[in-house]
Structure formats: structure tokens, C-alpha cells
């Protein structure tokens, strides 16, 4: 199954977010802060998430990239693990592969890993504003 097949239920996933948090999901980057605030309000730290909840928020985070960042797209889905569903952004000098569902799972257990910061940090790296850490050899 390709990533498009995985994303077919997106309207239902977004509706689930809107119903559970009482917010409107407009896929704008600013909405990520609202979602973070509401997750903190509705789901206390230590609350074990259901996989469907992580999928809903992760697909939303990925779609914020896809709808707002030129060149962003969902990567091919191998069918092994939904948490491996990725987004890809290619620019002349930089490229990015991100795992929005994994990022939401990280945020769930460590609220300092803000989704809005993740979004902006990756844009800044793509634009050369900040440099990625050099890998140690």
C-alpha cells in the first residue's frame, strides 16, 4: 500500500482531533501550538496513548508540512509499521526525512519536544538558518 492509501481516512482522523480537543484543524503551522496546548489540557503526562490517537495527530503534523512547505510530500509506505510513515522535503542544498507519527509519540511522553518547534526547526535547517549537527565518525 502506498502512503496515499494510508492517508485516505484523513478527514476522519482530523474530525477525531477536532472532537476530542474542541479545536478547528486548518493545517496551518500556527495550529500546532493550539494542538499542543489542548493535548496538555486533555491528556495529562503519563496517560498511555492509543495508537489511533498517535496516528491522528501524527498524520495531522505531517500534513501541515505537506500543505505548507514547497516540495514536501509523504514518502512511500512499506507496510511494516505505521509509525514509519514519513514526510520528505527536498531542496537544492538540503533534504529532510521526518517521521511525524514518531514525533507525536515522543511529544506524548516528553512535552518539551514541541510539535511547533519541530516544524520550525526543520524549516530553519532546510533554509540554512541553522546547521544540522555534524555526525561523529
**Domain segments of the chain as ranges:** 3-119
In the chain, beta strands by DSSP E:
72-74, 87-90, 95-98
Task: Round the average pLDDT of the chain to a whole number and report it.
Answer: 82
With CA atoms as reference, report the closest residue to 13 among 51, 44, 59, 48: 59
- Cell output for 25: 484543524
How many angstroms from the chain centroid is the CA of residue 7?
13
Whole-prediction pTM: 0.82
The CATH classification number of 3-119 equals 1.20.120
Q: What pLDDT was estimated at residue 109?
A: 92
Q: How far apart are the first and last CA of the chain?
A: 37
- For 95-136, write each residue's pLDDT tens digit: 889 999 999 999 999 988 899 999 999 888 887 766 656 554
Q: What pLDDT was estimated at residue 7?
A: 58
pLDDT of 28 > 80? The answer is yes
CA distance 90 to 71: 6
Amino acid at each position: 500500500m502506498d502512503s496515499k492509501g494510508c492517508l485516505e481516512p484523513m478527514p476522519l482522523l482530523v474530525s477525531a482531533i477536532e472532537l476530542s480537543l474542541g479545536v478547528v484543524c486548518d493545517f496551518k503551522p500556527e495550529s500546532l501550538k493550539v494542538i499542543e496546548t489542548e493535548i496538555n489540557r486533555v491528556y495529562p503526562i503519563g496517560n498511555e496513548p492509543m495508537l489511533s490517537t498517535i496516528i491522528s495527530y501524527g498524520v495531522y503534523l505531517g500534513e501541515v508540512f505537506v500543505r505548507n512547505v514547497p516540495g514536501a510530500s509523504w514518502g512511500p509506505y512499506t507496510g511494516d509499521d505505521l509509525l514509519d510513515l514519513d514526510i520528505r522535503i527536498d531542496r537544492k542544498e538540503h533534504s529532510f526525512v521526518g517521521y511525524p507519527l514518531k514525533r507525536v509519540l515522543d511529544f506524548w511522553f516528553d512535552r518539551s519536544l514541541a510539535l511547533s518547534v519541530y516544524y520550525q526547526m526543520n524549516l530553519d535547517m532546510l533554509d540554512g538558518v541553522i546547521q544540522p549537527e555534524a555526525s561523529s565518525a
